[in-house]
């Protein structure tokens, strides 16, 4: 309304006030009336790779602080977990975006599922093997003939390549999501994520000086894990939505790292909501390690970018070990949405 020519009579003011009140009372996103500026929000959905722990804090903070809405998205965040595998939900079109490991996405492409990476959050692999020095394990060759706890096949690609590189033959033992078998000396070495199980081992009473750690990225086997993926058809249909999701997610992560106490409060609230036992100290450790993995020293500020060298390394190892039989060109696999 023009300030010079409008709203001069009391009656007209009453009409305008009534219209404004009606607009406020209209339904929100469910009624398609939620706007970003003058544009309706795009509806989209995202599934995390696992339960709503600090590993995914940036996405939850972006939703909680209205960052997705600011970028034009009405986003539904779906909690991942054993009953909701992110790769399956993305493949079936039940989610528009998902976090996946690079190795998982490469095997999906190999079997014909056209997933594309639109941002690579973790720049350094967090997967590792942990052993007690008291067991006599100090270097890779000391693992030869030992019992080693290994997770499901998707987690075995790096360990198997590691064993092959050093000519090691281990006695594999199926490892659950707990580290209790390792703590009770049921295995000589265990699989662990730096931001998760490794800290659980420390919290159980072992000191870092009592442990031998094998970080795979330090042995030429850097398989970056959490990246943001969508189907190629989704990217072709709405690249603007994909870019908005990536920009908002990265903003959410930056906010999370800058406001750790507020972020951990939200993480703990989400874990209570899903009835998952949680320890605040552990979630603080996880958030700090996620920052280290996303923004490692020497990365040159390349937050969210998938490097061609990492893609070639991962697909090369998968190809060499017969886990895939073809490699999609990097330019078809990666459609970076990071500005």
In the chain, % of residues over pLDDT 70: 87
Q: What global pTM score does this model have?
A: 0.85
H or E, element range at 119? strand 115-120
pLDDT reading at 296 higher than 70: no
Structure confidence at residue 297 (pLDDT): 57
pLDDT for 17:
39
Res 328: pLDDT: 95
- d(CA 27, CA 33) in angstroms, rounded, equals 6
The DSSP 8-state label assigned to residue 125 in this structure reads: -
Place of tokens 């031998």: 212
Question: Which tokens hold the place of 78?
Answer: 């779906």
pLDDT at 3: 35
Distance CA 203, CA 284 (A): 13
pLDDT digits (tens, 9 = 90+) for 204-229: 999 999 999 999 999 999 999 999 99
- Please give the Cα distance from 158 to 93 (Å, whole number): 29
Domains with residue ranges and CATH for the chain: 39-124+224-333 (3.40.190.10), 127-219 (3.40.190.10)
Q: pLDDT class for 38, splitting at 50, 70, 90?
A: low
């Amino acid at each position: 309304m023009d300030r010079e020519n409008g709203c001069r009579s009391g009656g007209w003011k009453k009409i305008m006030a009534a219209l404004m009140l009606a607009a406020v009372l209209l339904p929100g996103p469910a009624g398609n009336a939620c706007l970003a500026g003058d544009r309706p929000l795009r509806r989209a959905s995202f599934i995390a790779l696992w339960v709503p722990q600090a590993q995914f804090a940036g996405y939850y903070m972006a939703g909680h602080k209205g960052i997705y809405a600011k970028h034009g998205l009405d986003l539904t965040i779906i909690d991942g977990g054993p009953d909701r595998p992110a790769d399956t939900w993305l493949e079936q079109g039940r989610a528009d975006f998902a976090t996946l490991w690079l190795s998982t996405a490469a095997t999906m492409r190999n079997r014909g599922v056209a997933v594309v990476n639109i941002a690579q959050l973790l720049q350094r692999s967090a997967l590792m093997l942990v052993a007690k020095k008291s067991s006599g394990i100090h270097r890779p060759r000391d693992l030869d003939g030992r019992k080693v706890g290994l997770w499901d096949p998707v987690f075995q690609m790096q360990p198997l390549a590691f064993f092959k590189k050093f000519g090691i033959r281990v006695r594999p033992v199926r490892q659950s999501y707990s580290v209790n078998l390792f703590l009770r000396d049921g295995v000589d070495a265990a699989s662990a994520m730096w931001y998760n199980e490794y800290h659980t081992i420390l919290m159980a009473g072992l000191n870092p000086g009592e442990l031998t750690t094998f970080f795979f990225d330090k042995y030429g086997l850097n398989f970056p894990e959490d990246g943001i993926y969508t189907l190629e058809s989704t990217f072709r249909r709405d690249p603007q939505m994909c870019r908005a999701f990536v920009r908002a997610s990265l903003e959410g992560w930056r906010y999370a790292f800058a406001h750790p106490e507020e972020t951990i409060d939200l993480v703990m609230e989400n874990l209570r909501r899903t009835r998952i036992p949680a320890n605040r100290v552990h979630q603080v450790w996880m958030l700090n390690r996620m920052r280290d993995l996303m923004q490692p020293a020497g990365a040159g500020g390349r937050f969210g970018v998938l490097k061609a060298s990492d893609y070639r390394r991962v697909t090369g190892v998968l190809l060499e070990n017969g886990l895939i039989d073809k490699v999609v060109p990097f330019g078809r696999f990666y459609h970076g949405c990071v500005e």
